[in-house]
Amino acid sequence: MRIFSGIQPTGRKHLGNYIGAIVQYVAGQERGEAIYCVVDLHATTVPFEPAELRELTYDTAAILLAAGLDPDRCILFRQSDVPEHSELTWLLTAVTAYGDLQRMTQFKDKSSKQRELVTAGLFFYPVLMAADVLAYRTNEVPVGEDQRQHLELMRDIAIRFNARFGEQLVVPEARIPEVGARIMDLQDPTSKMSTTASSEEGLVYVLDEPAQIERKFKRAVTDSGSGVRRAPDKPGISNLIDILAVVRGVKPEQIEREFADSGYGDFKSAVAAEVIEYLRPVRERYNALRDDQAALEAILERGAQSAASIASGTLRDVRAAMGVGPPR
């Protein structure tokens, strides 16, 4: 079982990132050959500052390590250090439908916000994402619910490539958590928690201080009526129930039973207290890891060497199958 996933080095990581992706990364180390990538090339598809991008890449690596990634049990690397990703992206465009890229929801959303320049990179973002995964002949991709469309596209690309050039690529499967796949904004529980769309009060950052986390949960928007239970007309409380269920590692129904007679205020306080403790180990380890930038660079470089040894083999096979470059 080979597992691959990439994480953007844009913005501070929040509770949605942590529950929806990072926790799965750590668990993946126990289930198979785990390969994780800080996707700095993806980050160039939207407006960015070069110096900030480099710092955010180190921030993201430190967060992943603080959360429990072990460089001796997984491969952790920086996307741009493995040029096979970029070349495979171009080769895969030969079997990627223009219409499919036009229909990608993320492209529509992000391009509508980029008034000055909608880049070709943003349009081809899903092909690069497909190359990231397919370069490693990945079996499983841990993603949030919002990435399901991208996963389906990369599956289509792999199937189309294999039908045209022979069985070279593995068709990956998505691994989406049953609970917590979409953590919602605390101030707008109908929208996903996001650094680009959410307000500061709606976001709980992994590195927030306990007092900040407590304040944000106490101010979380709930719903009219009463009763701690999930329902379509109770998105705020449903979101808090899902968060606490993930933090405790239990079913949401168990949370509903335990807090059935609690008021909203008491329930929000309980969620805040448990999220604070849930994130405490990461906060405490992060600072020491982030301060040693040379050590972070060494981990990323070693990971890139290991990643390239796998991706280069895939690329050789793809080039040969497509008739690109000299014959073997």
Q: Per-residue DSSP letters for 260-271?
A: TT--HHHHHHHH
* 69 membership: H or E segment, kind and range: none
Burial environment of residue 213 by CB neighbours within 10 A (0 to 12, 13 to 18, 19 or more):
buried
Rounded CA gap, 16 and 24, in Å? Answer: 12
Q: What share of the chain is helix, strand, coil (3-state, %, to 5)?
A: 60, 10, 30
Is pTM, for the whole model, over 0.85? yes
CA gap 97, 93 in Å, rounded = 8
For residues 118 and 31, state if they share a domain: yes
Q: Does residue 191 belong to any structural domain of this protein?
A: no
Residues 96, 83 within the same domain: yes
Digit-coded pLDDT (tens) for 101-116: 988 887 777 777 777 7
Q: Are 119 and 220 found together in one domain?
A: no
> Does some domain include residue 188?
no
Answer yes or no: is 192 within a domain.
no
Tell whether 67 is covered by a domain: yes
**Quick one: 170 and 272 in the same domain?**
no
Residues 225 and 143 occupy one common structural domain: no
CA 20 – CA 30 distance, rounded (Å) = 17
Same domain, 9 and 54: yes
| Residue 62 neighbours by CB distance under 10 Å | 24
Helix (H) or strand (E) holding 33: strand 33-38
Instruction: Provide DSSP, 267-322.
Output: HHHHHHHHHHHHHHHHHHHHHHHHH-HHHHHHHHHHHHHHHHHHHHHHHHHHHHHH
What tokens appear for 284 in the block?
């405490």
For position 197, what pLDDT does the model report? 63
Same domain, 279 and 301: no
Find the Cα–Cα–Cα–Cα dihedral 53, 143, 77, 47, rounded to 10°: -20
Residues 48 and 130 in one domain: yes
Could you tell me if residue 182 is inside a domain? no
Q: How far apart are CA 271 and CA 219, in angstroms?
A: 12
Q: Which residue, 228, 218, 299, is CA-closest to 260?
A: 228
Whichever domain contains 240, its CATH number is 1.10.240.10
The CA distance from 314 to 318, in Å, is 6
**By residue range, what is the domain housing residue 237?**
200-287
Instruction: Tell me whether residue 245 is in a domain.
Output: yes
Note whether 6 and 105 are same-domain residues.
yes
- Helical pair 293-322 and 264-291, crossing angle rounded to 10 deg: 90
Nearest Cα residue to 141 out of 311, 314, 5: 5
Do 7 and 99 share a domain, yes or no?
A: yes
**Ranges in the chain, pLDDT < 70:** 178-181, 197-198
CATH number for the domain including 113? 3.40.50.620
280 and 309 belong to one structural domain: no
Which residues on neighbouring strands pair with residue 140, listed in sequence order? Answer: 3, 173
Amino acid identity, position 107: F
* Contact call for residues 245 and 237 (beta carbons, < 8 A): no
Residues 158 and 226 in one domain: no
> In whole angstroms, what is the distance from residue 290 CA to residue 59 CA?
7
Domain count, the chain: 2
DSSP state of 183: P
In a domain, 327, yes or no: no
54 is a domain residue = yes
